[in-house]
Structure formats: C-alpha cells, structure tokens
Structure 1
Amino acid sequence: MSLLAFGINHKTAPVAIRERVSFAPDRLADALRELVSQPRVQEAAILSTCNRTELYCNTEDDDIAPVVEWFRRYHELRAEEIEPYIYIHPQLEAVRHIMRVASGLDSLVLGEPQILGQMKDAYNTANEAGTVGTLLGRLFQHCFAVAKQVRTDTAIGESPVSVAFAAVSLARQIFTDLSETTALCIGAGETIELAARHLHEHGVARMIIANRTLERAHLLAGEFGAYAIPLDELPAHLEEADIVVASTAAPLPILGKGAVERALKARKHRPMFMVDIAVPRDIEPEVAELDDVYLYTVDDLQEVIRENQESRREAAAQAEEIVNLQSAHFMGWLRSLRAVDLVRAYRSEAERLRDQELDKARRLLARGDDPEQVLYLLARGLTNKLVHRPSVTLRQAGYDERAELIEFASELLGVKTDVD
C-alpha cells in the first residue's frame, strides 16, 4: 500500500487553472467511484475548494501515473496545461501535507478554520461513496484530531483572519463608512455567512442575500436583518449594491458583463466593489474592464490577508511541530500494518503445532499413560517444534557470519547471551 496526495492550490496555480479542475459537488461521488476503478487505486477522497483541488489516495504501489492520467482525462486537459501546476506528495509527505491542510497551515489565510469543515465534508462524501477504507479512514480521523489539537494548544485561531474578513477589510478601504452602503451577498454557504457576519458587525446599512435555494437565503437573512431573494432576481437588485460578495458552487458565472453594465448605468456610475471568492468564478472576468467597478478575486486578496496574519506566525511554528510529531506517529502505525500478516501467520502456525501436540497427548492419556509423563512429553514436544525453525536459521546465520540477523533475533526473542 502507498499513500498519495496530489493536486493544485492557490500557491501553484492561478484561479483560471483552479476553476478548470474543480469538482462540482453533485458529481463528486461519481468521480470518486470512477477514480477507485482505475488500476491500483484502492481508496480515494477528493477535496475541492476555491483555493485547492486535491486527491488523497491509497494505491497498491508507488506508481502515480494512473491517478494523474485519470485527473487529466476527467477534466479534459492536455499534459502541458496542468503539469506545471501540480504537486505530488508520497507517503510521509502526504500524511504531513494532509495534516497541514486540515490545520489551516497550507491555507491562503493562515490558520483559517473553514478548511477543517471542508475536509470533513470531503471525508463524508468519500465515505458515503464507498471509496474510503481502513487506511484513509484512519488518516482522516487522525488529521481531524491533529487539527483540533492545533487550535486548542496554539493561538493560531485567535486573530479574526479569513477570506471573508479580508474581503470586508478591503471594502472598508474603499467605502470608509459602511453604514451608508448596501451589500449584496450571493450564495449562502459558510464563506458568505462569514462575510455577512463581518459586514453586519461593521455596520453595513442594508444587506441582500441571494441564493439558489430561497429557504436557505431566508435563514441567513434572518440572522443579520437582511433581505432574501432567489438568484433569478439578481438583475433587478444589482443596481442597489455598493458591495457585492459572491461565493456559490455554480459551474458557470452567474453575473456577466452586460448585467453589471446595466446596473452601473442605473446607478449613474456610482462605484461598485465586487469580490468573487468562488472557484469556478461567479463573476465574468471581463467585468473588471468596466469603469467604476473594483473587482477582486481570491487571488487578489492575498496582500490584504498577508497584512492580517503576522500574529499567527509564531503559533504556526508551534503547529508545525505538532504536525511533524503526529505525522511520524501515523507513519509508525502504517508501518506496523506490514507486520500484521506475519504475526497472524506466525500465530496460526504456533496454534497448528499446539493442536498437533494436544492430539498426541490425548491419545496417550486415552490408552492409560501416566498423566505426569504425558504433560512432560507435551511440553517438550511443543517447545522443540516452536524453537526448531528459529534454531536452524540462527545456526545458519552464525555459519554465514550474518551478525545483523543474530542481533535482530536477540531483540525479537528478548534473549541476551554473553557470547559475541
């Protein structure tokens, strides 16, 4: 068995590439089942967020070609289109990488907590699809425990830094007083909920929540005194928005250049601040060409985020120590699995020899032999059979001058001698 973490993220690929390799939530289960049907792939989970798409696999050997080829073929990409952006982590590197991701140490926003929930969703989806077994199941549970330890034992989560927070911070730079603005939040997921919370806390005058599922929009709107609308009413309300924050799971943009142009005209070209946090993007990139529009993507938020995460640096160093230690522990458990079959076979052989000697002892007792003598013969026969093979092997090792084997045997058997 071999562990593998493979994919791209915000550090290796621009949003234009990341959106091409994202997995739609409603197709993820089928993609997982297709992945584990590839040669030598035994288990798999897929994490697909706005900042990363990663595949976590348990394969029969170290050959990663089937996984890479499937990934490229699934997204209809040529090798030269994706290979410059991908990274591959095997074994210990994979374990450490996955733990760092779960702990927020590899996030655009250092230490952000949303990624842990996204990883739990990825695990649950893979589990329901039947593509997670013993190894990945144990790894995910271990990662969740490590992420919890990092947040408990370090101060990495104390500063209010997130993509949503960065978006609102940028809005406050453009509109000094949010109490005179209207915000339009498109979507109703965790990121939009955070953005709405930050906007509300900073006194935004009015807020509109637009979502495909109106019921979910109403739930979120009720929490912040906002107004809920379905997505198909966006064009009618876009002109009201000074601030637009978009984060949906739509496969195609839901706001085009034409709709924004019409809204600007109705606004008499008062400026609009727009943040597209989604991958794939919710707002057509061409919108950035319009006058009076300030359009930012998740990649544009990096500088804002960088300014707000210095306080987490020291905590991150402590978190890395936890990850390194726990990665080593997990790999120790993984290596122990290699001995399981040998231990099972050894025990089965010992039980077979025991049963042979017991059968012989029962026959002797049945014909009336002295029980004391039968017990002695049973013990001697079992001892001789158990030590015969190791004794032969050790004598041959001595003859062949294989000192390392004799030393290993001494440790294994717990026996020390005075003879060098």
Structure 2
Amino acid sequence: MTIFALGINHRTAPLDIREKVAFAPEQMMEALQGLADAAALKEVAILSTCNRTEIYAEGEQADQVLHWLAQQRRISLEQLQSCHYLLTDSDAVRHIMKVACGLDSMVLGEPQILGQLKSCYAVAREAGKVSTVLNQLFQQAFSIAKRVRTETAIGQSPVSVAYAAVSLSQQIFSDLRDVRALLIGAGETIELVARHLQEKGVREITVANRTLSRAQDLAEQFSAQGILLSEIPDYLHRADMVISSTASQLPILGKGAVESALKLRKHKPIFMVDIAVPRDIEPEVAKLQDVYLYTVDDLQAVIDENIRSRQSAAGEAEDIVEQGVVGWQSQLRALNVVDTIRAFRSSAEEARDHELEKALASLRAGQAPELVLKSLARNLTNKLMHTPTTRLKQAGEQGLTEHIDLAHHLFGLKKPDDGSES
C-alpha cells in the first residue's frame, strides 16, 4: 500500500503556473474519474485553492499522475517537473495533516484551508473515490486540526489572506471611512474581507456576484448593496477599492473596463487586490497609471509582519501533528491485520463449505447421520490443522523457536513445561 501527495503550492510555483493547474468546483467530478482511470488509483482526492493544487491518492502510479495533470491542464511536463513535490507514506500523511492545520499555508495557521480540505474530501467521497484508506487519513487529519485549534494559540490573532488584503489597503488609504469598496465574489474569503472592512469603518460596500441572490444575502449582513457581475462596469468608477475572489476560470475584470472607469474618476487612483487563482483581474490592468493592483503573492510581506505571534504556537502544533502521524501508522498496521484476518477467515470458510457439501451429499445418499457428523468434524479439523502443523514442523526443523513461541501466543496455547497439556 502506497499513499502519496503530489502537488504544487505558493512556495514551489509562481502564480501564473498555479492558476493553470487550478480546478474549478464544476470540473472536479470529471477530473477525479479521469485521474483514477488514467493512473489506476484505488483512491484519490484533489485539493485546489488559490495557493495550491494537490492530489492525494493510494496507488503506485505517481508518475502517471504528473503526466495526467500536465495533459489535463495543458501545461508542459517540464514546467510541472520543475516545481512539483511528491511525498509518500508517512511524509505524505504528515504533509496532509500540516495542510489541515494551516501549517503549510501562506498565512500560518489560517483556518480556511481546513474547510477547503473538508470540501475536497466530501467531493471525492461523492465521486466514490474515497474508501477505507483515505477516509481514515482524512478523519485523522481533521481530528489533528481540531486539536491544534483548541490546544494551541495558532489561530488567535486575525491573520488571513482576507485580513492581509484589508491591512494592505490601510497602507494606501489613511482613513477607510472615506473609501467605497467593490467586492467581487460572495464566497468565504469575500465574506471575511467584508467583515474586516466593516470593522475598519469603510464608508460603502458593494458586492458583485454571478448569482444576485447570493450577492444580496451577503450584502445584507454588512448593510451593503448586492449586484450582478454584469453590472460591474456601471459601479466600477465609484469604487476606490476593488477586492476580488471568485472561482471563475476566466478574468472578470478587463483592462478596457478599468480604463473607462478611470476616465469617469478623472484618474483618481483605484486600489485593487486579486486574491483569486486563476486571476479575476487581467494582469494588463497593472500597467495602467492610477491603478495599484496586487495579487495573492504580493500579500506575503503583509502576512510576514502578522505571523510572528504564531511562531511559538506553530512548534506546539508540529508536535501534535507528529502524534497524528504515529496514530495513523498504528491505524495502518491495524488495516494490514484486517486484510490478514479476512484472508484467514475466507480460507476457513472455504474448507467449511467444502466439507459441509460433502456431508450433505452423504446424508442424501442415506449414510448414518452419526457417521456423517464424525467424518465432517474429523475432515474439517484435519483441513484447518494441516497448513499450521506443516509450518510448525518446518520451524522446529529449522530451529525457528520464535515462530513456535508466536504460535503459542496466537492460539492461546499452554506450553508443555508448565505441567499442562497444550
């Protein structure tokens, strides 16, 4: 049994590669099925966020996974080979647990990744690609993440990508109470952005989303206005700040729309943060004068200033993760024993069924029931004893006393030298 984690993240790959290999939610089911077939994987799950795309699987064909990913996302194999990582068995388990705890995130200890990992697990289960091994692994990872949250202080200070985006805006605007904000998307990240902006007293918030009802539901929480994505050109010129985070595979905001807005604003600057992967705002927008466009990778400097308080808690979290790895190894050994027990039981049941059929045939032929039962008991005993007895004799001849001692332990036998029969 081989478990592996293969992927790229914010440490190994730039944004332009990460956005190429990102999977939209509506693509995930088909991707799971295609990957499982292409690499002959027993179990598989795919995690795709703004900072990482990772594949967790049980199987032997990790190299085929990389080839599939390159072909599926139309990216050269050489590019992926230069920035991917592959972890197996205990190293893979440790990595997944660290991801769940936020220890491998750009924002140390950020809580959103746990929800994203749970969603990854749920989708893979729905697709029928998670069973015994990955199920136990995910459950162990979730349990360890909960312990880290409750037993350490890693999540106490407000550090997240959303928080970093709002903190960066405070370096641009002296007073957010004079700022109008346009938020694109209505997911968890944008909700966090809206909450932080409201706490900072921002003057006005508008939420734009593909679904109007979702935009309005989110806007209502913050006394904001909800609009459709198609209405953005009508509102963009009013926005001093634009923060975007959607799951769109194509840009939401192009250079032309921003140029038009700047003209209406008489070139009053606009601050923009694109948290999405793939990007929501065309990179060419950054070339416009009076636009300050930042991506998720640009937030690292802000984040670094805010994670120092979490460093000591991270050490405690690492210790809990190591306990989780040990626990997983114990569970894995138990799974291996289950397979052995299943094989042993199957062998015994096969012998039973064979001898039972012979006994029933004898009864139908008119043989005396007492003789049939005695023959059944004798033959079944001989069959069950044959292989263990042969192996024990061989162990004795070869001087393998530890095998003989193990047989006494497994079958609860008393040794002859204690005065009792074995």
How high is the TM-score relative to the length of structure 1? 0.89
Q: Structure 2 vs 1, CA of residues 387 and 196 (structure 1 numbering), >3 Å: closer, same or farther?
A: same
Structure 1 counterpart of 2:248, from 244, 247, 250 = 250
Computed over aligned residues only, the root mean square deviation of the Cα atoms, in angstroms, reads: 2.8
User: How far apart, in 1, do the equivalents of 2:127 and 2:338 lie?
Assistant: 28
Instruction: Say yes or no: does 1:98 pair with 2:96.
Output: yes
Residues 41 and 61 of structure 2 are in contact (CA less than 8 Å); yes or no, is this contact kept in structure 1?
Answer: no
Structure 2 counterpart of 1:89, from 87, 90, 105 = 87
User: How far apart, in 2, do the equivalents of 1:367 and 1:324 lie?
Assistant: 61
- CA positional deviation for 1:128: 2.0
Q: Structure 2 vs 1, CA of residues 68 and 410 (structure 1 numbering), >3 Å: closer, same or farther?
A: farther
- CA positional deviation for 1:131: 2.1
User: How far apart, in 2, do the equivalents of 1:29 and 1:412 lie?
Assistant: 45
Gaps of 5+ in 1: none
**Number of corresponding residues:** 411
Superposition pairs of residues 20-35 of structure 1, within 5 angstroms: 20-35=20-35
Partner residue in 2 for 1:170: 168
The residue identity in structure 2 corresponding to 1:19 is E
Instruction: Say yes or no: does 1:268 pair with 2:266.
Output: yes
Deviates more, 1:256-265 or 1:48-57: 256-265
Partner residue in 1 for 2:185: 187
Residues 164 and 303 of structure 2 are in contact (CA less than 8 Å); yes or no, is this contact kept in structure 1?
Answer: yes
Partner residue in 2 for 1:6: 6
- CA positional deviation for 1:417: 6.2
Structure 1 counterpart of 2:69, from 68, 71, 76 = 71
The residue identity in structure 1 corresponding to 2:329 is M
Superposition pairs of residues 14-163 of structure 1, within 5 angstroms: 14-59=14-59, 62-163=60-161
Superposition pairs of residues 324-339 of structure 1, within 5 angstroms: 324-339=322-337
Q: Deviations over 1:279-300 (max 9, x none)?
A: 0001111222222222111111
- CA positional deviation for 1:352: 6.4
Q: Secondary structure at the match of 2:42?
A: strand
Superposition pairs of residues 233-312 of structure 1, within 5 angstroms: 233-312=231-310
User: How far apart, in 2, do the equivalents of 1:286 and 1:354 lie?
Assistant: 75
User: How far apart, in 1, do the equivalents of 2:165 and 2:171 lie?
Assistant: 10
Q: Deviations over 1:134-177 (max 9, x none)?
A: 22222222222221222112111111110000000111111121
Q: Deviations over 1:330-350 (max 9, x none)?
A: 232223322323212323444
Gaps of 5+ in 2: 418-422
Partner residue in 2 for 1:392: 390
User: How far apart, in 1, do the equivalents of 2:369 and 2:220 lie?
Assistant: 85
User: How far apart, in 2, do the equivalents of 1:367 and 1:215 lie?
Assistant: 79
How high is the TM-score relative to the length of structure 2? 0.88
Superposition pairs of residues 189-204 of structure 1, within 5 angstroms: 189-204=187-202
Q: Deviations over 1:8-30 (max 9, x none)?
A: 11111111110000112211111
Residues 39 and 62 of structure 2 are in contact (CA less than 8 Å); yes or no, is this contact kept in structure 1?
Answer: no
- CA positional deviation for 1:105: 1.2
User: How far apart, in 2, do the equivalents of 1:271 and 1:391 lie?
Assistant: 87
User: How far apart, in 2, do the equivalents of 1:255 and 1:341 lie?
Assistant: 55
Deviates more, 1:343-352 or 1:140-149: 343-352
Q: Structure 2 vs 1, CA of residues 19 and 352 (structure 1 numbering), >3 Å: closer, same or farther?
A: closer
Partner residue in 2 for 1:206: 204
Question: Matched residues, percent identical?
Answer: 55
User: How far apart, in 1, do the equivalents of 2:370 and 2:382 lie?
Assistant: 24
